[in-house]
Structure 1
Amino acid sequence: MAKRSSKQFGVLAIKSKDKSQTYNRIRLTSKEKSELLIEGLVTIILLILLNLAMYMILVQIIQTSVSLESFTNRFMPSIYDAFYSPRAMIWKKPIFALMAVLDIAILYWRLIRRYKQMQQRHIISELHYISSGHYDHRIPFDLGGDLGKLIRSINALVDSTVEAIEEERRIEQSKDELITNVSHDIRTPLTSIIGYLGLIEERQYSSEEELLKYTHTAYLKSKQMKLLVDDLFEYTKVRQSNTPINLVTFDMQQLIAQVVVDFELDAQKKEVTIDFEPSPPSLLMSGDTEKLVRVFDNLLSNAIKYGTDGTQIIVISEKKENEVIITVKNDGKEIPKKSLDLLFDRFYRVEESRSQQTGGTGLGLAITQSIVDLHHGQIYATSEKGWTSFIIHLPLEQPNHSNN
């Protein structure tokens, strides 16, 4: 975007503690300096006339206490006596000193007021510049007092507004990507279903065995679509920060042990062993058991499906201070470092061909992370020394949360 120079702003750059923002002192333009000079001259002239009038009135009050009519008749002849008579010399100097102090104070007040008005014009000019679409610009003036607070507040407001706009753009982009990915993943099995059902509709099969083969394939593709829709529904549900969770007190070690038992048959088919190492044997904590079961289902399912060439899965659950640390690791093929940080992105697949073969939706780890976030925990992955590990930190006690 276009930037305005310091000369165009009428400012003088100075160093700032914040290296990302250059602050400036306002430098008046020639026209503004002329306005300020005229303001000072006019003020001085008015003060001289006012001082003269006040001085003569004060002289008359001090020298005589006559009636108003006599005071008016003697006003003009008293000018000479007021300035040159010996009697006036006694009190004239203090009066002049007091008037001089008042004049300087008034002159200073009027110039400062006019200078602040000029500062406000510069600030308003900056605001108009930002409002015209230059959202990367900030008011660069370094001022004290209320104007300084106002500038900092405006800059903070612009920052938060820009951040909100960017967040809105990211959300819209994220929605578009979600629709694109879902459409792509649904279109593939749907095309197969339509194709095989079309063959059946046109009776292009030679035997009942071939007919059953077509219907079976269509059935499997339908299940794949249902899995994707279910995962998508679960993902959108747990992604909301205000998603209610049903908090109950349960034994984490017992819950994990039950999930491990449920996966033993699948592991045996893959010739993989699953070991569970609880420490301590029993560990009470609070959480939503239904959602946490989904977390361990996803992690164990991924370990079995994607732990290529692996023979062992180990689940470790241990208590440390006020949290439980759960590690699900397998000795399969390591995940490249560049992929570790992307594992929890929706629809991300380390190996595209492998994911299609296993039928994964690419939403499992994204759902897992969202559930862990709902429980105020943390999840991350490591892959080194022959082990790929998913590590979860969960607090033993959950803060108050609205229940369903």
Structure 2
Amino acid sequence: MKDEKKSTRIILTSKEKSELVIEGVVTVILLILLNLAMYMILVQVVEANQSLEEMIYNIKHAIHNMYDSNLSLSWRIPSLMFMGIADLIVLYWRLIRRYRQMQQRHIISELHYISNGHYDHRIPFKLGGDLGKLIQSINALVDSTVEAIEEERRIEQSKDELITNVSHDIRTPLTSIIGFLGLIEEGNYRTTEELLKYTHTAYSKAKQMKLLVDDLFEYTRVRQTNTPLNIIHFDMDQLLAQLVVDYELETEKSGKTIEYTTTPKPFVMSGDTDKLVRVFDNLISNALKYGQGGSKILIDAKKVKENAIIIVKNDGTPIPKKSLTHIFDRFYRVEESRSQHTGGTGLGLAISQNIIERHGGSITATSEKGWTSFIIKLPLDNDDEKN
């Protein structure tokens, strides 16, 4: 097992040090033999060529006269010095090459250790040159691989939770549908009113299942980032006005009023209106269903610097603080909203958050001072800001 505190330097083992010594000794022996062979060949060439020997003598004589020195030069001395320098260069190159190979072996050993499942380990060596860049690339690759593995695990866990929640939410109304239809099938009803009651209950439960399936389909669709948004320029003032008209009858039945304000007018911006309408539908529907005891639903849209801020709020029952941090989680429902009358699929706010985030914005919730507010922040492009 690797030490937790790993040295940033590559420490050679005794065996590797011995390999370096042997490499150096063998190289020196080979160079000595090569130098002797070259020296003997050079002597034979010079002695066999009289003109070459005379040229060397003249060069020596000229240097001697120039410096007026008693220095006794011979062609053998510079030749031996040249070969000695060349030998040192070759010896250094051989030892460095061998040392680089040992460094590569240590890096490969670290890679094998990581590949055996120790994904929290990183190659600790701090080297320069290409090997240093290689280590950085390997560590970055391991980091991205580990992140991908963790993301895959989260996705699998999310899928399991999704299947569990969907199975639970479908099984409950489906059990009721089968039960009431079974009573009708067996003729276990006494009056027509009782028959109609059974069929109405089965119909209501079927609608509840359809709502869950629709929301689940929409949630899956908005999470697919490769699905393009249909971005167009639109007037937020007109969009909110139409929404208020659409919900006018429903708000009257529930004893509530719905109002909106926009600043400025017209309020031109860009976005996918179909998906943004879905967001406002979810927020208004939630205010009608869960805002018990309230009488007002207010929508306020305004420009703040480079952003559009839209607030949808109601004065109904506040959301508990412990629920505010989870309210946008998939399938999360506030405990007080689990009755058959108001209980939804728990996907509406998760869908809304995904739609807003795909527009590059954010959505948050607050519940204080008698108002439960959902604050939507959407960026405006340059063309929007000019309008």
TM-score range, shorter chain: 0.7 to 0.9
Provide the residue aligned with 2:159 in structure 1.
175
1:220-299 alignment runs, 5 A limit:
220-299=204-283
> How far did residue 338 of structure 1 move?
3.5
Aligned residue for 2:258, secondary structure, equals strand
Aligned to 1:51: 35
- Change in Cα spacing, 1:182 to 1:352, as seen in structure 2 (3 Å) is farther
CA–CA distance in structure 1, aligned partners of residues 369 and 145 of structure 2: 46
> What CA distance in whole angstroms lies between the structure 2 residues aligned with 1:355 and 1:210?
23
Counterpart AA for 2:3: S
Shift of 1:248: 2.4
What is the rounded CA distance, in whole Å, between the counterparts of 2:322 and 2:77 in structure 1? Answer: 86
Contact preservation (8 Å) 2:255, 2:295 = yes
Partner of 1:216: 200
- Following superposition, the deviation at residue 92 of structure 1 comes to 4.3
**Equivalent pair of 2:337/2:343 in contact (CA under 8 Å):** no
Deviations 1:139-167 (A, max 9, x none): 22211111111111111112212222221
**Alignment-mate amino acid for residue 345 of structure 1:** D
Q: 1: CA distance between counterparts of 2:252 and 2:23?
A: 93
Q: Which amino acid aligns with 1:65?
A: N
C-alpha displacement of 1:87:
9.7
Shift of the 343–398 alpha-carbon distance from structure 1 to 2, 3 Å rule, reads farther
Whether the 8 Å contact between 1:331 and 1:388 is mirrored in structure 2 is yes
Quick check: 1:204 aligned with 2:188? yes
Q: Secondary structure at the match of 1:334?
A: coil
Candidates 4, 15, 29, aligned match of 2:2: 4
Q: SS at 2:12's partner residue?
A: coil
Q: In terms of mean alpha carbon deviation, does 131-140 or 209-218 score higher?
A: 131-140
User: Taking structure 2 as the reference length, what is the TM-score of the superposition?
Assistant: 0.87
Q: Whole-Å Cα distance in 1 between the matches of residues 285 and 74 of structure 2?
A: 105
- Residue correspondence of structure 1 range 3-402 to structure 2 within 5 A: 3-5=1-3, 13=7, 24-65=8-49, 89-351=73-335, 353-354=337-338, 356-397=340-381
Moved over 6 A (4+): none
Give the whole-Å Cα distance in 2 for the aligned partners of 1:12 and 1:131. 18
SS of the residue 1:25 aligns to? coil
Indicate if the aligned counterparts of 2:6 and 2:124 stay in contact, CA closer than 8 A. no
**CA distance in 2: counterparts of 1:50 and 1:280, whole angstroms:** 92
Q: Which string of whole-angstrom CA distances, capped at 9 and with x for unpartnered residues, describes residues 67-122 of structure 1?
A: 9xxxxxxxxxxxxxxxxxx9974444433433332222111110110001111111
C-alpha change, 1:12 and 1:93, in structure 2 (3 Å) is farther
Counterpart of 1:255, as a letter, is L
1:78 maps to which residue? none
Q: 1:241 to 1:91 in 2, by over 3 A?
A: same
Query: Secondary structure, in 3 states, of the residue corresponding to 1:358?
Result: coil
Contact 2:23 2:95 in 1 (8 A): yes
Q: Distance in 2 between matches of 1:332 and 1:92?
A: 106
Gaps of 5+ in 2: 52-69
Contact 2:313 2:372 in 1 (8 A): yes
Contact 1:376–1:398 at 8 Å: present in 2 too? Answer: no
Secondary structure at 1:26's aligned position in 2?
Answer: coil
Report the residue type matching 2:128 in the other structure: G
Shift of 1:35: 0.4
CA contact (8 A) 1:377 1:394 kept: yes
- The 1:162/1:122 distance shift into structure 2, 3 A limit, reads same
Determine if contact 2:331/2:347 at 8 Å carries over to the other structure. Answer: yes
Deviates more, 1:238-247 or 1:108-117: 238-247
**C-alpha distance in 1, partners of 2:140/2:229?**
35
**Structure 1 position 317, deviation (Å):** 0.4
Q: Give the match for residue 19 of structure 1.
A: none
5+ residue gaps in structure 1?
14-23, 68-85, 400-404
The 1-side partners of 2:34 and 2:340 are apart by 93
Cα offset, 1:190, TM superposition: 0.9
Equivalent AA in structure 1 for residue 193 of structure 2: E
Secondary structure at 2:375's aligned position in 1? strand
Q: 1:335 aligns to what SS in structure 2?
A: coil
Alignment root-mean-square deviation, CA: 2.4
Q: Find the aligned partners of 1:255 and 1:387 in 2 and give their Cα distance.
A: 23
Q: Which moved more, 1:96-105 or 1:205-214?
A: 96-105
Q: Tell me whether 129-138 or 209-218 shows the greater mean CA deviation.
A: 129-138
Q: Quick one: which amino acid aligns to residue 95 of structure 1?
A: S
Tell me the number of residue pairs that the alignment of Structure 1 and Structure 2 aligns: 365
String of CA shifts for 1:150-200, please: whole Å, max 9, x gaps: 111111112212222221221121111111111101111111111111111
Quote the sequence identity (%): 70
How far apart, CA to CA, are the structure 1 residues paired with 2:136 and 2:103?
15
Cα-to-partner distance string for 1:242-265 (whole Å, 9 max, x where unaligned):
113222221111101211222233
- In 1, Cα distance between equivalents of 2:205 and 2:252: 25
TM-score normalized by structure 1? 0.84
Q: Is the 8 A contact 1:318 1:325 kept in 2?
A: yes
The 3 A distance-change label for structure 1 pair 58 and 12 is farther
Structure 1 residues 352 and 88, CA gap change in structure 2 (3 angstroms): farther
Does structure 2 retain, via aligned residues, the 8 Å contact 1:12–1:27?
no
In structure 1, what residue type is equivalent to 2:160? D
Which SS does the other structure have where 1:380 is aligned? strand
